[in-house]
Structures are given as structure tokens and as C-alpha cells.
Amino acid sequence: MSSFAPKEYQGRVLESVRKYFEACNSLGNANTAFYQLTGELWGRHQPFNPLPGFSRDMPYFCLRVPTGGGKTFLAARSVALVNTHLLRSEHSVVLWLVPSDAIREQTLKALRQLNHPYRHALKQAGAITVIDLDEAKSITRATLDTSTVVIVSTVQAFRRDKTDGLKVYQSSGALMQHFDGLASAQRENLLRDEDGTTPYSLANVLRLRRPFLIVDEAHNARTDISFATFERFNPSGVMELTATPDTEKVPSNVLHSVGAAELKTAQMIKLPVLLEAEPDWQQCLADAIARRDELQKLADDEHRKGAPYLRPLVLIQSEPRRQGMETLDAERVKKELAENQRIPPDEIVVATGEERGLEAIDAKYPLGIADPGCPVKFVITQKALAEGWDCPFAYILVGLSAQQSGTAVEQLIGRVLRQPDAKARSTAALNQSYAFIRSNDFARVANELRDGLVRGAGFERKDVNQFVAAQKPGQAGMDFGGRAKIVFKQVAVALPKKPAIPDALKDKVLWDKGSKTLTITAPLSETEAEEIAQAAPDAAVRGAILQAAEASRTTAIEPFQTPAETGERLRVPQLALYQQGELQLFDDAEVLEYPWALSDYQAAPTADDLSALGLASRVAGGGTIDVSAEGQVKVGFLPDLQRDLGLSYMPEHWDETRLAAWLCRNLLEPSLTHASKQAFVSAWLRALLDTEGFNLARANQLKFTLRKLLDENIRRLRRDAVKRAYQQALFGEGREQRVSVSDKFLFEFDPQGYAPSRDYDPRKSEYGSWDFRKHFHGRIGDFDSKEEFECAVQLDMLAQAGRIRYWVRNLVNRGGGSFHLQKATGRFYPDFVCALNDGKILVVEYKGAQGWTDAQDDREIGGLWAELSGGTCRFAMVRNRQWGDIEGKLA
């Protein structure tokens, strides 16, 4: 895959964005579009939360992407989607807002660099101009008319109480040209000074052009001042990107959430984080150095075999300097490295508020700290590295603070997660991150590190358990939070009086006043036990508490490991197709050979096309029309937007030939020659222009709608051709010579790549509660119906009875957790995959009474897959709770 092409999960994110924009226009309301689309994407409708001070139907959504997920790349690729599917305009203005000057400079540099992946992503929108705020203050009308203009700025730069921000709202002679020949509707919508005059300001230029807002690190821009600033631009829509969206105070509309497991599967991040807790700070540092040396040897071995250059870095978080106190400050840590660990001075750099060694490195080496000529291996910092600093060479985090906490490391943990070159190395140790924390309480540190991954890196809580593990086998037994499941037997101890129980431990310890018994309901770490025992009246009581706490960590625990945790591998044979004599994985129906020529089809608008254009002619761009209480007609946000864009970006008056050429050039279908497209488009456009009530002026005005209709027509015709080829290749005579199912192509459920968009929670499920004991993973994807849940219970009961080895809830379109069978259009993701005792595979799909009728193609491809496997695979489609159909396949 090209470094410029989206990863699979990024493609899913962008598809969600495209669908949202299209739904906004087809439904005419961003509010309804969000509600309906989240139900379609994730099986659960989410309410739409409008931004304070904005229209309730302004397009507004958030992409939740953890650290290392490529937020900037996704934002850049989304610009083309904004133009094509939301604004339906060839050009636009995009206001790209970031939280700091450091990130602004970093973003500007990347978007302007012609060979950078971000620039290539941006170029999908056509002609692009990338500028900063100072350059925007003198932008010409011609630039706005002929390119998509991306203005990169901080939010703070637009605040009226700042000198630079004030200039945005003041008249400028350089901008007068933008205000010539304005329609009255445009003038009425401009900002005015206190004296009532309309300034020729950049703010008013932006209001005329209805900019689309991209808000990076959006969790930093949730204040009333920020929202008021956004409102002044009169935006066409707002897209937020963040790892940690606001879900409480002013909730973001999370359209698509990316899980850490997806990033791991896509080779974007290094997981798990292998943790060591060591109370001696010098030993902690020495262990980290030894680990770096091991990683360097592995990296050098790979480099000799052709892998890219890699120099693993250690990030060391020192203590702040305190007057009159001895601390492990940056200077002392540097001295320890140089004198006791024999690290050469040029391999150490200090990056604190007082000493900015990384800036000197960036100035000296072309590729900064990642440059092969740079000798640095150790970076000493204090609180956090400079915002925006990013180096995938960072592998090891060392936390030396005596008061270490998840909060202290959360700002740094994200810096060691990124995978170099976004590509997994051949050595497993180079695909993991490492943390060495000064502490004698492994369990506490492990849980605090997980908290840091949630708060700092944006991981979902349900993801983090599997992504922090012990480096030392002896510490693994102390990590209760990392286990998918444990069976715990409560420990009771009689005491003469109630001990002092800290608030933080009241959910783990209960006191019964009548029996004077302390009951431990969850494992207590050594530190937690000490917190309770320290106030004991005598040594005997103290000893009894500590002994009971030790039992809670040892004899009271019945270890439980899922098949994935024990090292089982769940592999499923896939459909393969002979292509030019060679067997290839069949995961795209487009690879089939099929006759495909537009000349075979009639080129004319369908009744649906004419209906769509009729609606568009009455309310441009879709949208709703309402009547206020006073009897005034109110037009919705999107029609207003299309009117404003039509006034700012006046449609060119092309003749029929030029319009046909533009449509042809901008059609998305890649499988056709230009000549075949040209003939079809010209004939289709001529037929449209011959239709009563439609003329060339209207066609110019609606050229983006025409392009969409043409594209849908051509895709429909191509799908029909693919369906015929699919039926012939897979179900026609002699199919055994064309299609195969064998162990040559196997789908493997990734032990760390299972990331449901919704988890089954027995405490909250509307379908019922069941203690699933035989699921392949610790997490279980939620069910879509009560019958589907009951089917899973049947499978788990069969597994517990020894009839099935284990099973997994198959996910839809979630990478390493999703087995599928290719259909002519789309993919079939069956509900469950079961490993049988004899090594065979059983796939089960449940259908309710209504779903059965529409599932003929699913039954056909599932049956074919089982038939071609030669008995290795079995397929059951169950309906109406006929569980005997499953047992029949086990015979």
C-alpha cells in the first residue's frame, strides 16, 4: 500500500464522513442525518447535540481517533469530501484551527510540503492554497475563486481581546475587492462595527465564503469564548478531531470512533505496553538502558537485512528541582547516565522549560532526532515534551518521580506508542512499547498507566486492559486489572473493631458491624493493604489484615484465561478464486472478469433522476421549509448554505460541450475509458436538456448534483454487470475449477485486534444476562436482538458441555475481528464463528422471521463456502430459535 493511501480503518472513517455529508443533503437536516447514520453504522442511534449558538441543523460531528491514528491525514482527506458531498462546490474555504502555535507551524509545514502524505491527501480536493492567518489578511478574490483555500490558525488568534485577533475584524484596503457587487442577502449577513458601518475585514470575507471548520484537538476548544469565535465565521459545518471528546459538559457528536485495537491491527502503534515497576531508581534506569540495548541489536539485525533505519529512544521523566531538597531532577539523571551508566554525553539531550535540547537537534539534523547522523538515544524531560513533538523512534518511557501517577505519565505515554513507518517490524519486540516506573506497587502503577492511556492517548476504557502487560513474569500475577476475567472468592477476617477504610477502597472492603467482620470483595494490593492496616491498634490486628489481603491476591483468586489469552489461534478458511491460473483471495467482486461497456446501455435520466432534480429545483440543496409562529416562511440551514455558496461561487455559464467535458472529467468511475464516458455523458445530458422545464442555465447551477446522479447511474450499471459475472463464476457450471476453499488462505482472529464498537455488558444489556465462559476473547461484541443473544447462549452452553471448543461473536467491518464472505455487492459478516473439537469450523448466522426473506444471498454464499471446503467448514443459518439446526451441524 502506498504511504499516501488510507489504512483500512481510515477508509472506514472517511466512508462514515462521506455518508454523513450525503445524508445531510438527502435528508435536508444534519440533525436527522446524524441520528439515522449512527444507527446504521453502529446499531444504536445517537442524539445530535448542536453547538451552542448555532443552528440545530448545521453539519457538526466529531471523529474520535486515539494518539497515533493519523488525525491530520484524515482531516486532509476530508476536505475533498466537504467539497464534493456536503457543499457540492468545486472550491471552498477551510478554516483549520489548532490549539497552539507549535502545532500550527507543524501543520502548515506538512500541508505545504509537496511530497508529504498530508499534502497528497489534501490534493484530492483539486487546486489547493495553504496559507496562515497573516497571509489570509491580504488574500485575493481570484485565489478564493480558483482554489480551495486552507487557512491554518490557532483559535486564540481570532479572539477580539487579542491584538492580532482584533485585526481580523478591522477594515483592510487589501480586502475591498471582495465586497464589490454583493447581493443584498450577502450584505445583510455581514458583521458591523459599533457605529453600524460594515468593515472590509477578513472576518467578513470568511462569512461571505461560509468556511468549513476543522478543529484539531477539539477537547481544547470547548469554552463559550471558542464557540462564540466559531459563530462569527458563519461556518458551513464543523468537524472536530480529538482522542478525548467531551461527553458531558458540551457533548461532541461522535460520528466515528476508532479503537486502539484497530490501530494495532493497522500497524500504526506499538502495543502492548510492557511495564516494569522497580522501587530503586538507579535499577529502574539501568533496566531501561538494558532493554534499549536489546532493541538496538534487534533493529540493527533487521537493518542489515534491508529494514529501515531505527534507533530506539528512551524518554525519561525526571522530577522538578526543589530548593533545599534532593530530587531526581534532569541534571542528576543526566549525571547518573554519564557517570554510572557510561552513556556518552552526545547521546543525551535535555528537554525542559529551562533547557531546549530538542530544538537544537532539529536545527542541526535534517530529519531531527530521527536522522541517521543524530547520536541521541536518551531524552530527559520533566513534565512534558513540547506540544507537537513526535518521533516514532521513542520506544521506552521511564518515570522516576517518587510520586508517580497515571496523570504524570499520561502526557508522555502517547509519545512511545507510534510505530516507525506505520509498518510492523519482523521482530515482535520492536512492535511493542515499554515503561519502567519507579514504584514498589505493580498493580497500582499498571492501573494508573491504563488510566493514562484513556485520559492522555484517548484509548477507550474497554480497550486498555489487554494493552498493558508485565515485563517480568513475577509481576504478572499482581496485575488483576489486565485480566479479561477473574473468579474471586471473598475473604473475611474477624477484627475487634472497625478499621479506618479509605474512601478509595470502600468498593473493595465491607465492614459488618454485627459480626465485627471485615470482608474483602476484590483483590487488595500490598499498598492498599498497608493503607488499611496502618491504623490498626496493635500488631496482631495489623497482621490479620495483611494476611487477609495477601489471601485476596493469591488463594482467593481462581485464574481465568480466554482461549486467546492461552495462545489458541482461531483461523478460518476463506474463499479463493483462480485468476489467470493462480489462486487468489476472493475479497472483492470487482476482480471478476465481466463485459462492461457503457455503449450497451441507454443513456438517459431515470425517473428517479428527474424526481431528484425536480426537488432540487424547488429547494436548492435539499433542506426543510417551516413556518414560524408569526407566519413567516423559514428555510433550513442547508438551503441557506447553498444560496450563499451560489452567490459567492457564481456558476460559470458553460455551453453543453464544456459542461459534458467537466462532468466526464469529474466522474469517479475508474474502470471506463474517457471516450466511453464522454459518449454516455453527452447523450445523458442531451436527453436531460430535452426534458421540459430544464435548461442549460439550470444544469450549470446544479452541475454537482448532475455529477452525483451520473455517478450513481454508472455504478448501478456496473453493479448489474458484476452480479451477472458473480453468479456465473461462483454458482455456474464448472465452478469447482474456478473457486476454492482451503487452508491456503486463512483469516485469523487477531488476539489483540478484537475491537467491538459496542461491548456486551451483562449488567446493562437489554437482552439478558449470561456469564459467557467459552468466548474466544475477553470482550464480546454486543448483540443486535434478543434472539441473537439467545443464540450466543446456546453456543456457550454447547461449549461448556464439550460439544464446541469455543466460539466468537463475529464483528462487522472491524479488521482483525471480522471474518467475511464476499458477495456480488458487499460482504456477508456472519454472527458467530465456532471452533469445533475436531479442528473444523462452524459458522452460524441467526435470522429473525423478517430477515430470513432478505438473506437468500447470505445463505447461498455460506452454503457454497461450506460445500467447497470438503467438510472442513460447516454453515448454519438459524431462524425462529430452531437451535436443533446447530446441533445438526455438530453430528
Tell me the pLDDT tens digit for each residue of 88-137. Answer: 888 999 999 999 898 999 999 999 999 999 999 999 999 999 999 999 99
Q: What is the pLDDT of residue 621?
A: 36
* Average pLDDT of the residues in 597-618: 74
Q: What is the 3-state secondary structure of 364-418?
A: HCCCHHHCCCCCCCEEEECCCCCCCCCCCCEEEEEECCCCCCHHHHHHHHHHHCE
Buried b (16+ CB within 10 A) or exposed e, 210-219: bbbbbbbbbb
Q: What is the pLDDT of residue 618?
A: 37
Please give the order of strands across the beta sheet that includes 739-748: 582-585, 571-579, 739-748
Output phi, psi for 257, to 5 deg: -120, 125
Question: What distance in Å separates the CA atoms of residue 861 and residue 589, rounded to the nearest whole number?
Answer: 13
Q: What is the DSSP string of 116-157?
A: SHHHHHHGGGSSEEEEEHHHHTT--HHHHHHSEEEEEEESGG
Beta strands in 53-127 (DSSP E): 60-64, 93-98
CA 847 to chain CA centroid, Å, is: 30
Q: What is the pLDDT of residue 158?
A: 86
SS3 191: coil
Tell me the pLDDT tens digit for each residue of 485-524: 566 788 999 998 888 888 878 888 999 989 999 999 888 8
Tell me the pLDDT tens digit for each residue of 685-728: 999 999 888 888 888 878 878 888 898 888 888 888 899 999 99
Whether the CB-CB separation of 437 and 412 falls below 8 Å is answered with no
Of residues 610 and 346, more confidently modeled: 346
Question: What distance in Å separates the CA atoms of residue 196 and residue 192, rounded to the nearest whole number?
Answer: 5
Which of 498, 479, 732, 729 lies closest to 591 in space, CA to CA? 729
Tell me how crowded residue 628 is: count the other CB atoms within 10 A of its CB: 8
Q: How far is CA 229 from CA 49, 233, 762, in A?
A: 18, 7, 44
For residue 641, the surrounding DSSP H or E stretch is: helix 637-648
Q: How far is CA 135 from CA 41, 75, 113, 143, 172, in A?
A: 40, 22, 17, 12, 13
Mention every residue, 6+ apart, whose C-beta is less than 8 A from residue 360. Answer: 349
Indicate if the pLDDT at residue 558 is higher than 80. Answer: no
Lowest pLDDT segment from 155-169, 333-347, 628-642, 867-881: 628-642
For residue 571, the surrounding DSSP H or E stretch is: strand 571-579
CA 784 to chain CA centroid, Å, is: 22
First to last CA, the chain: 44
Which of 569, 552, 406, 567 lies closest to 486 in space, CA to CA? 552
Tell me the pLDDT tens digit for each residue of 149-197: 999 999 888 876 654 557 888 999 999 999 998 888 889 889 998 888 9
Cell of 358: 530538542
Tell me how crowded residue 477 is: count the other CB atoms within 10 A of its CB: 15
Question: What distance in Å separates the CA atoms of residue 276 and residue 471, rounded to the nearest whole number?
Answer: 6
**Residues belonging to the chain:** 891
Q: What is the pLDDT of residue 219?
A: 83
Q: What is the pLDDT of residue 26?
A: 81
Question: What distance in Å separates the CA atoms of residue 18 and residue 271, rounded to the nearest whole number?
Answer: 30
Q: What is the pLDDT of residue 671?
A: 74
Give the ranges where 425-553 is alpha helix by DSSP (H).
442-455, 461-464, 473-476, 526-533, 539-553
Q: Is the entire prediction scored with pTM above 0.95?
A: no
Indicate if the pLDDT at residue 250 is higher than 90. Answer: no
Q: What is the pLDDT of residue 646?
A: 75
Q: Hey, what amino acid is at 461?
A: R
Tell me the pLDDT tens digit for each residue of 809-848: 999 888 889 999 999 988 999 999 999 999 999 999 999 8
* Average pLDDT of the residues in 787-804: 96
Q: What is the pLDDT of residue 215?
A: 95
Judged on CB neighbours under 10 Å (0-12, 13-18, 19+), 375 is middle
Indicate if the pLDDT at residue 310 is higher than 70. Answer: yes
Tell me the pLDDT tens digit for each residue of 192-244: 988 889 999 999 999 999 999 999 988 887 788 888 888 999 999 999 999 88
Question: What distance in Å separates the CA atoms of residue 824 and residue 830, rounded to the nearest whole number?
Answer: 16
